[in-house]
Structure formats: structure tokens, C-alpha cells
Structure 1
Amino acid sequence: MGSRADEQRRRILDAAVVVFSRRGYRATSMNDVAAGVGLSKPTLYHYVRTKQDLLVGIYEQVLDESLASARAIVAAAPTPLEAVRALVVERVRYTCEHQDLLKICFEEESELPDELAEPILERRRAFEAVVLGAVQAHLDEAGLEVPIPPKVLVNTVLGAANWVYKWYSPSGPLSPRELGEQVAAVQLAVLGG
């Protein structure tokens, strides 16, 4: 169970997601974030030092949740192919259900200075390695070869799954999970699944 301070930081991060997504990172001030969470600016600074810290916190949240989920999916899957399918479905579902969050992650990355971007990239590479490991395990188990390197296949599949943040409509005919199933079916056909 988190402390009151952790809960407050989470509320601040949630407010930052809303404001950054709506206004853009550069156009957002700490006053905007404070107003979004209902705090005074001095109180906000008690919990977070800079706007950059908020942006890093958003990336860490997405990548830590994604990595934990990916590892759990692979551990629970009955076969490597089912793991890959479940990873794609989950990636699409998460992206559809957190469009504001993913918009920031995909559109504001250039705002991170190199020293802050490197730990974020390490987390992203760890997530991609889990997906690549599942793909490679399936290829090895099935004795398959794909027409492109497995890493390129993984980047292509994740690119398609991640891009849904741009066009998915919650009022559309498909739930996030249903859309994930369709994306997985198309993207994984090359794997025989």
C-alpha cells in the first residue's frame, strides 16, 4: 500500500498526462499542472521538482507497467506463439485504453535530454527483448524462418500495435481487446498464427 505522498504523486502525474496531452509538453506550465490537480504551485513543487521530472515519470510508468505485464504474459502462456499473440493483444488494448498517455510517449520523446532518455531507452529495450524472446522461442520451436529478421518483425508488429493511439475511437465498433485480436491476427500471420 502506497503512502499519502505516493498517492499525491500519482494524482499529479495523472493531471500532467491530461494537460500534456491536451496542450503539448512545451506549452504546458507547472501552473497548468498545479491547476489540473487542484494544488498550489508551491505544494506541487513539494512533490515534483521540474516539468521534466513529470515527463520522465510518465515514461517510467508506461514502460514499467508494460514490462511487468509482458513478463507475466510470457510466463503464463502455454506456448511461445500464444505468448506473442497475447503480447500484441495486450499492447493494443493498453494503447487504446491509455491514448493520452501514449500520445505523450510517442510525441514528446525529443523533449528528454540524453541523460534522462537513456534509462528510458533501456526500459524500452527490455520490453522489446521480452517480445523478441517470445518470437524467437516460437520460431525455434516451430522450426520456422521468417522473410525478415525477427527484430525487424518485432519492431513492425509493435509499431502497428502502438500506432492505434492515433486512430482508435472508443465509440467505434471494436473494444480495445477485439481490435488487439484483429491486429494480432494480421501481424502474426507470418508466424503461422
Structure 2
Amino acid sequence: MAGGGAGSAAGSRADEQRQRILAGAVTVFSRRGYRAASMNEVAEQVGLRKPTLYHYVRTKQDLLVAVYEEVLDESLARGRAIVARASSTREAVRELIVDRAAYTCEHRDLLTICFEEESELPPDLRQPILERRRVYERLVREAVEDHLRESGLTLPIAVNVYVNTLLGAANWTYKWFDPAGPRTPRELGEDVATVLLAVLDAG
């Protein structure tokens, strides 16, 4: 029993250290760009010696993959929770839009990496990342399709076009959101949802 507890504590500490390293990598990658950043800079960012850093992560590429996995896994978990608790199919779509835009604004450093460094992933690592993204996109598409089916509405464009436009509008806020501006991430997300739902409601 005691040994198991000690092992669990050690595992928890290792996980915490990896999260610290990942957060440091996000800071360095978003500031310097993935290609220009070095593992030395990541180690300095988190206050570790380079050999200690390599105890937790093997390569810079592993850190980049971990960034994508964190964003996509969290996005999917949030999306599923939204759909599960929504009071209606329309509310599910609305909240998915609001949450996507707000999350993007709140994590601009993460999203800058995800949207601008994808070409740095080799094909064998890119495919699992793309599949994770497709799972999230399917969640959004199914929410839209459920609402259309339940409401009897039709879109003036293909559902896939609407969903890609929806996600593009919500995701692109990382480029122009002003943290010092008059709108909070959540308020901006609600503005984006208002515009996009007008198309859906007009059907």
C-alpha cells in the first residue's frame, strides 16, 4: 500500500513537471517560432538543466506534438460536455461556437503554435493529430445536423461548408482579439455566435 502511494506521488510529480515543461515550450515556441526555438531555451524557461529536461521529453518535436494533443483533447472534452448539458440542439451549436472562440482568445499562444506550425510535423506524426481534429469537427457537424433535423430547417449551403466557416471564424479570432479591448473572450464568442447562428436560423 505504502509503495503504491509513493509510486503514485512520484507519477504525479512527473506529470506536473511535464506540464511545466509543456507550458515553457508554449511560451518559447509562440515567442520565437518553433523552428528558431531551441531545447536550451525551453530548459531555461522552466529553470531546468538540459539533461533534466531530456529526462522528461526526448525531442523538440515531441513537445510540438504534445501541444497539439493538449489543445485537441481539451477541445474535444469541452465540446462533448457542452453537447451533453445543452438544453436544446440550437443551444448546443451556439455554445460550441462561443466556447471555441473564447478558448481561442484565452489561449492565443497555444493556438498560434497549432495554426502556424503544422508544417513542422512529419507525416507520420501529423496523421494522428489530423484524426484528432476530425473527431472534434465531426462533433460540431453532428450538433449542427441534429439541430437541422430537429428544427426542420435547411441551410443555404452544404453543412460541411457551414461548419468549416463556423470553425474558421471562431479559430481566426486568435489573430485579431485584443486582450485590452472592450470585449472579453466570452463576449466576443457570443458576438461570433450571433453572426453565425443568423445563417442557421434563416433556414
TM-score (normalised: structure 2): 0.93
1:67 has 2:76 as partner = yes
Which residue number corresponds to residue 133 of structure 1? 142
Aligned counterparts of 1:158 and 1:57: Cα–Cα separation in 2: 22
Matched AA of 1:31: N
Which residue number corresponds to residue 47 of structure 1? 56
Stretches (4+) displaced over 4 A: none
Which residue number corresponds to residue 77 of structure 1? 86
Q: Give 3-state SS (helix, strand or coil) of 2:48's partner.
A: coil
Deviation at 1:58, TM superposition (A): 0.2
Which residue number corresponds to residue 159 of structure 1? 168
Deviation at 1:12, TM superposition (A): 0.3
Matched AA of 2:102: R
Q: Give 3-state SS (helix, strand or coil) of 1:184's partner.
A: helix
Aligned counterparts of 1:47 and 1:155: Cα–Cα separation in 2: 37
1:179 has 2:180 as partner = no
Deviation at 1:160, TM superposition (A): 0.4
Matched AA of 1:134: A
1:170 has 2:179 as partner = yes
Percent identical: 69
Question: How well do the aligned residues superpose, as a CA RMSD in angstroms?
Answer: 1.1
Deviation at 1:100, TM superposition (A): 0.3
Encode CA deviations 1:124-148: one digit per residue, 9 max, x unaligned. 0000011000000001011111111
Which structure 2 segments of 5+ residues have no match?
1-8
How many residue pairs were aligned?
193
Moved more, 2-11 or 55-64: 2-11
Encode CA deviations 1:3-55: one digit per residue, 9 max, x unaligned. 10000000000000000000000000100100011100000000000000000
Aligned counterparts of 1:62 and 1:3: Cα–Cα separation in 2: 21
Deviation at 1:91, TM superposition (A): 0.4
Aligned counterparts of 1:103 and 1:87: Cα–Cα separation in 2: 20
Which residue number corresponds to residue 96 of structure 1? 105
Q: Give 3-state SS (helix, strand or coil) of 1:188's partner.
A: helix
Which residue number corresponds to residue 20 of structure 2? 11
Deviation at 1:186, TM superposition (A): 0.3
